[in-house]
Amino acid sequence: MHIEVHHQLSQIEAKQWNNLIENDNPFLRHEFLNGLEVCGCVSRELGWQPHHMAIYSEDRNSLLAAMPCYVKEHSYGEYIFDWSWVNAYHRHGMEYYPKLSNAVPFTPATGPRILLNSQNKDTAEYSNQELSSAIIQFAIKETERLGMSSFHSLFNTAEQADLFETKGLSKRHSTQFHWKNNSYQTFDDFLAEMTSKKRKNIKRERRRVSETGITFKWLTAEDLTPTDAHTMYRFYSKTISYYGAQSYLNKPFFDYLVEHFSQHTLFLFAEFEDKVIAGGLYFKSANTLYGRYWGALANFHSVHFETCYYQAIEWCIKNKFEAFEAGAQGEHKLARGLEPTTTYSSHWIAHPEFRKAIDTFLSDEIEHIDNYQDHMQAHSPFKQKEI
């Protein structure tokens, strides 16, 4: 096998890259990741230097495995927070940055972080286990070669987190709130599994929106236009400005989504008196809907919940999607039927003493996460199932 580093994703053939993707994960597709680069959302100047790793066959004609990676000069846009580690390094007169992150920029959505051909059999020249081991070892060697403090794989799958752990990386747990489709035929079927109080609350919130005269429209594929991209970007910018957050995406990227990524992109628009007043940006895989950003022109009662949760759940039920992920954090999602779910990341720390300290930290944190999820489950909106 032959391993290379690419500082631009365009250096890798899109078809070969996409052949490694399972379940049509939108955020791992060549078009999405390359779009972030060509639109200037990620770059060396912004602290996201592409450092993608690829394993090729000996003749270099076939891409066997890949790992999207970035040399990071900060921890923004990762959603796995290591600021306390940064501060610990600084207190000891050491530099934490740069670090190497195996991640999808600005996207806290679980997916494989080592891309492998699922059709690859052990009878092939290299098994997927051999390819996985080789690319992990190479990533660690790159971290050492470039004098970086650490290597991180963010929002990987449970299976790959276990694999990274066998290669010396420390596993970290986090919590998100996800919706799971329990073979619902209608939204009312979903509500029927809730307690009376929670069910009535959701019906009341939805009724407030409908009685106002607000309607909703999904746009995808050929329905999307440059005008829609401008509208969605305006909502995104308004939310970023309102919360004083960092703007990771730019107007060219929204235009890019409409022109080059419409098959995986959905806009949800709320309309009132023939005017678009709110919108949500969504992406989809083969069986999962992902909510990313939303925005509104004004504070309309319950429109946030309808735009960000109820319309998405209803869409998943109608289209028989298995799951809906609404992004990072947010305990208010629990009352809307999204349940606490463990997400994973993996971390290799070069400095041996810091590695021991961080391992202790992670062990304590995992116990805290488990207790937190138990507490959240105790306040679940769903009826208690008889055992």
Q: Name the pTM for this structure.
A: 0.95
pLDDT tens column, 237-278 = 999 999 899 999 999 999 999 999 999 999 999 999 999 999
* CATH fold for the domain made of 182-321: Aminopeptidase (3.40.630)
Question: How wide is the angle at C-alpha 154 spanned by C-alphas 236 and 252, nearest 5°?
Answer: 30
Q: Give the integer Cα–Cα distance in Å for 260 and 253.
A: 10
Q: Give the integer Cα–Cα distance in Å for 371 and 348.
A: 25
Nearest to 65 by CA among 145, 152, 151, 134: 134
Give per-10-residue mean pLDDT for the chain (387 aa): 97 97 95 98 98 94 96 97 96 97 98 86 76 98 98 98 98 97 98 97 97 96 96 96 93 98 98 96 98 93 97 98 93 95 98 97 96 95 74
Q: Give the integer Cα–Cα distance in Å for 197 and 41.
A: 44
Task: Please check whether residue 222 is in contact with residue 243, taking contact to mean a CB–CB distance below 8 angstroms.
Answer: no
Q: Give the integer Cα–Cα distance in Å for 20 and 324.
A: 23
Establish whether domains 2-174+341-377 and 182-321 are of one fold. Answer: yes
CATH code of 2-174+341-377, in short, is: 3.40.630.30
Task: Please check whether residue 280 is in contact with residue 312, taking contact to mean a CB–CB distance below 8 angstroms.
Answer: yes
Dihedral over Cα of 98, 104, 109, 112: its sign: negative
Where are the chain's structural domains? 2-174+341-377, 182-321
pLDDT tens column, 310-329 = 999 999 999 999 999 999 87
